[in-house]
């Protein structure tokens, strides 16, 4: 049974952060028989009042195989419930400046990613946790200190009156799932030689709401696509919601945001760059959203190791915040939880389990961080290039007609498989080498066949003789003139 799947005596784990990754980790440990307490800085997001206050994360996001597999492995039934509220996106819909739309499917075998409401997904995980007797959820608790030598965490509990109360707790294991600016990571750094780097890219993001059609109530764009308006150095995207609206995001360099001052400048910008978007959102809403919604930064974090002895481990954005352009941040965090659980359960020693987790995971996490960064260029500009499309179509042609060759696109391996990210890039390198050789072979063969055909046809001899005659006449003429 689920309860007996842990080889440990039931132990006490404290999870810091009740975001999607912390909540999923709680589910794995609770089902494995651990005593779980989750401490979350903010109020319960299932309460609509708290949702509007917590608004620094995208409303919806793309969930793909790794994320689904993370939930499915621990709770297949919950996966079904969650996916019922998700909308399949079969490909990208590229919108050019003239308003023409062209579809680029994600996968020749029809596999798709899904758009899901972040709060719904997070809330569904919390609902599940709340039903378990060995789980406690503590909201409004801010991690302030982590004394790992004493296995003790200190939280500040925010009381209704605005006052705070200090709460100290002990645990056998602390799991930091407290996001990109993780306090757990910060405190763990005092105990372990943790290499850490972070980078802010120069683009910010701002969200817009594209409502259902005002009279029919239907989607205003095809709901089964992730819509992209790529404009080289910036882009606008839209993901569908269950209520037939879309949530749109403008990713753009900070300087460009600064240049758009006031409603008129904004309208002019949209009418020039995304003219088809203006009637869909409506001028008033467009201006309202732009003025009201924050322009938020995008951070990329890399670090290693992810653990300290058998005391503490960081997962999700706390360990590897990435820019959102591969739609993998949360998916990868869910994969962390599955892989961590596998490592912990494949040995008798928690220290060894955490050691081997760091060792395996660091390669994969650094790779996906870099892929996410590179995909910004792909989404905002390469998707419109002929070379990119030719390469994609060629790979898909081989994948579809010669599956035994094992050729797959990078996107397909990242989004529709559970192959380790580091293995994915290795395969892509091998594949490019093979495809390069195949292309050279095909090229040389075609040239050879053409040469042979010309030789055999014989007409080249006449052309050559005529050419030589003309050349001889020119030379004779030149000699005559010069003499
Ligand atoms: P978070 O979601 O950041 O949750 C951390 C939790 O910890 C929060 O609830 C926070 O309140 C709590 N916390 C913080 N500090 C403390 C403290 N001191 N004490 C206690 N609790 C604390 N990913 C995808 O997979 N697909 C997508 O399509 C996608 N789109 C994105 C679009 C945008 C614009 C952005 C910005 C991100 C996107 N992501 C996407 C990434 C995704 O949002 C993150 O990877 C995901 O939210 C990480 O989950 P997490 O639980 O690790 O961290």
pLDDT digit string, tens, across residues 304-353 = 999 999 999 999 999 999 999 999 999 999 999 999 999 999 999 999 99
**Residue 439: predicted pLDDT:** 75
As a whole number, mean pLDDT of residues 128-142 equals: 98
Residue entry with tokens 């150095």 = 233
Question: Between 3.40.50.1370, 1.20.58.220, 3.50.50.60, 1.10.569.10, what CATH number should domain 2-371 receive?
Answer: 3.50.50.60
Is pLDDT at 394 greater than 90 in this prediction? Answer: no
DSSP helix/strand/coil, 113: strand
Q: How far is CA 458 from the centre of its chain?
A: 59
Q: Among the atoms of ligand 1, which is closest to the Cα of residue 42?
A: 11
Report the nearest-CA residue for atom 2 of ligand 1: 19
Which two three-digit tokens encode residue 68? 């689904």
Task: For residue 163, count other CB atoms closer than 10 A to its CB.
Answer: 8
**Residue 381: predicted pLDDT:** 65
Kindly give the pairing relationship between strand 35-39 and strand 225-230: unpaired
Pocket test for ligand 1, best of 39, 58, 62 (most atoms within 8 A of CB): 58
Each domain of the chain, given as residue ranges in start order, spans 2-371, 386-454
Pocket test for ligand 1, best of 47, 54, 57 (most atoms within 8 A of CB): 57
Task: For residue 177, count other CB atoms closer than 10 A to its CB.
Answer: 30
Which region among 160-174, 181-195, 232-246, 428-442 has the lowest average model confidence (pLDDT)? Answer: 428-442
In contact, 315 and 195? CB cutoff 8 Å? no
Task: Note the pLDDT tens digit of each residue in 230-254.
Answer: 999 999 999 999 999 999 999 999 9
Residue entry with tokens 């910004």 = 376
Instruction: State the greatest distance between any 2 C-alpha atoms of the chain, in Å, as a whole number.
Output: 111
Q: How far is CA 205 from the centre of its chain?
A: 15
Q: How many CA atoms lie within 13 A of 340 on its CB side?
A: 32
Nearest CA to 335 among 322, 347, 348, 351? Answer: 322
Question: What is residue 402's DSSP assignment?
Answer: -
Task: Give 35 Cα–ligand 1 centroid separation in angstroms.
Answer: 24
Is pLDDT at 85 greater than 90 in this prediction? Answer: yes
Q: Among the atoms of ligand 1, which is closest to the Cα of residue 180?
A: 3
Report the nearest-CA residue for atom 47 of ligand 1: 330
The runs of H, that is alpha helices, within 131-198 are: 183-188
**Exposed/middle/buried for 467, CB within 10 Å: 0-12, 13-18, 19+?**
exposed
Q: Among the atoms of ligand 1, which is closest to the Cα of residue 64?
A: 25
CA–CA separation, 389 and 400 (whole Å): 16
Question: What is residue 225's DSSP assignment?
Answer: E
Q: How many CA atoms lie within 13 A of 442 on its CB side?
A: 6
State the complex-level ipTM. 0.99
In contact, 140 and 41? CB cutoff 8 Å? yes
As a 3-state breakdown, the chain gives helix, strand, coil percent values, each rounded to 5, of: 50, 25, 25
Q: How far is CA 13 from the centre of its chain?
A: 28
Which two three-digit tokens encode residue 456? 């055999």
CA–CA separation, 424 and 416 (whole Å): 11
Band the pLDDT of 383: cuts 50, 70, 90: low
The answer, yes or no, to whether any atom of ligand 1 lies below 6 A from the CB of 230, is no
The answer, yes or no, to whether any atom of ligand 1 lies below 6 A from the CB of 223, is no
Task: Give 225 Cα–ligand 1 centroid separation in angstroms.
Answer: 24
**Residue 3: predicted pLDDT:** 40
The answer, yes or no, to whether any atom of ligand 1 lies below 6 A from the CB of 206, is no
| Packing angle, helices 76-84 and 65-74, rounded to 10 | 140
**Residue 466: predicted pLDDT:** 87
Is pLDDT at 71 greater than 90 in this prediction? Answer: yes
The answer, yes or no, to whether any atom of ligand 1 lies below 6 A from the CB of 17, is yes
**Residue 424: predicted pLDDT:** 96
Is pLDDT at 10 greater than 70 in this prediction? Answer: no
**Residue 56: predicted pLDDT:** 67
- Residues facing 229 on adjacent strands: 236
The angle formed by the CA atoms of residues 118, 119 and 120, to the nearest 5 degrees, is 90
DSSP helix/strand/coil, 50: helix
**Residue 474: predicted pLDDT:** 86
The answer, yes or no, to whether any atom of ligand 1 lies below 6 A from the CB of 333, is yes
Task: Note the pLDDT tens digit of each residue in 191-230.
Answer: 999 999 999 999 999 999 999 999 999 999 999 999 999 9
CA–CA separation, 106 and 86 (whole Å): 17
């Amino acid at each position: 049974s689920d309860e007996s799947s842990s080889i440990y005596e039931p132990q006490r784990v404290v999870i810091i952060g009740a975001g999607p990754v912390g909540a999923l980790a709680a589910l794995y440990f609770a089902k494995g028989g651990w005593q779980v307490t989750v401490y979350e800085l903010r109020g319960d997001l299932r309460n609509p009042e708290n949702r509007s206050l917590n608004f620094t994360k995208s409303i919806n996001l793309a969930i793909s195989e790794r994320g689904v597999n993370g939930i499915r492995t621990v709770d297949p039934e919950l996966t079904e419930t969650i996916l019922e509220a998700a909308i399949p996106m079969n490909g990208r819909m590229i919108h050019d400046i003239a308003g023409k739309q062209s579809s680029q499917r994600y996968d020749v075998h029809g596999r798709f990613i899904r758009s899901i409401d972040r709060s719904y997904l997070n809330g569904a995980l919390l609902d599940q946790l709340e039903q378990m007797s060995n789980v406690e959820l503590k909201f409004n608790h801010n991690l302030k200190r982590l004394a790992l030598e004493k296995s003790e965490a200190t939280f500040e509990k925010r009381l209704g009156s605005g006052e705070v109360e200090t709460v100290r707790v002990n645990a056998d294991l602390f799991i930091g799932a407290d996001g990109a600016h993780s306090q757990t990571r910060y405190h763990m750094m005092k105990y372990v030689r943790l290499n850490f780097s972070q980078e802010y890219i120069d683009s910010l993001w701002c969200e817009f709401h594209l409502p259902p059609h005002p009279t029919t109530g239907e989607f205003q764009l095809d709901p089964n696509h992730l819509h992209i308006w790529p404009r080289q150095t910036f882009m606008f995207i839209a993901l569908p919601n269950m209520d037939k609206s879309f949530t749109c995001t403008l990713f753009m360099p900070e300087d460009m945001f600064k240049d758009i001052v006031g409603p008129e400048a904004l309208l002019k910008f949209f009418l020039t760059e995304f003219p088809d978007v203006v009637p869909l959102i409506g001028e008033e809403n467009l201006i309202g959203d732009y003025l009201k919604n924050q322009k938020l930064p995008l951070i990329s974090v890399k670090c290693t190791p992810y653990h300290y002895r058998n005391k503490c481990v960081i997962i999700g954005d706390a360990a590897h915040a990435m820019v959102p352009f591969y739609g993998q941040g949360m998916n990868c965090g869910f994969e962390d939880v599955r892989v961590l659980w596998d490592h912990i359960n494949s040995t008798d020693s928690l220290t060894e389990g955490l050691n081997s987790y760091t060792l395996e995971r660091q390669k994969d996490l650094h790779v996906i961080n870099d892929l996410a960064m590179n995909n910004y260029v792909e989404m905002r500009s390469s998707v419109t290039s002929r070379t990119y499309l030719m390469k994609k179509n060629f790979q898909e042609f081989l994948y579809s007609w010669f599956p035994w060759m094992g050729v797959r696109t990078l996107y397909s391996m990242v989004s529709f498989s559970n192959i380790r990210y580091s293995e994915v890039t290795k395969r892509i390198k091998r594949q490019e080498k093979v495809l390069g050789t195949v292309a050279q072979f095909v090229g040389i063969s075609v040239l050879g066949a053409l040469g042979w055909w010309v030789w055999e046809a014989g007409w080249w001899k006449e052309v050559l003789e005529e050419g030589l005659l003309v050349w001889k006449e020119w030379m004779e003429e030149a000699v005559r003139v010069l003499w």
